[in-house]
Structure 1
């Protein structure tokens, strides 16, 4: 019985552990790859309508990116192809 366990079950457990570890480490690396971009403060009608501020991400993390990451401060935006600050950014 002991040799049957060693010869059959133990190698299967090692393979299951290895496969599980491989998927776990891959998922962890994928979640850390976040696109960091410069967030801009909107100044509608001003000569410079967008002012660079903090670093933000384009990936929706559920929390909007704000100046200094303080909830009461203005939201930050990304520029579109026309250099308008209209694309929402999120806290990294």
Structure 2
């Protein structure tokens, strides 16, 4: 009786622990991604097509803009194409 109980309950406990660990790891990745500050770049002419302006975030409802009102972008490689947002206007 005791061995049958362990054969049934132990695998279920291991699966439950694995699922809980996977969900908590996924939630940690998402929360750190949403709060990370990103340098905002604006389009300019010249040898380097992007100019560094100010720190933005990658979440929020408002466009991240330069002091002159121009939209700022993320620069993952050599071009700045991804528009950035911020939490406050």
* TM-score between both structures, scaled by the size of structure 2: 0.49
* TM-score between both structures, scaled by the size of structure 1: 0.48
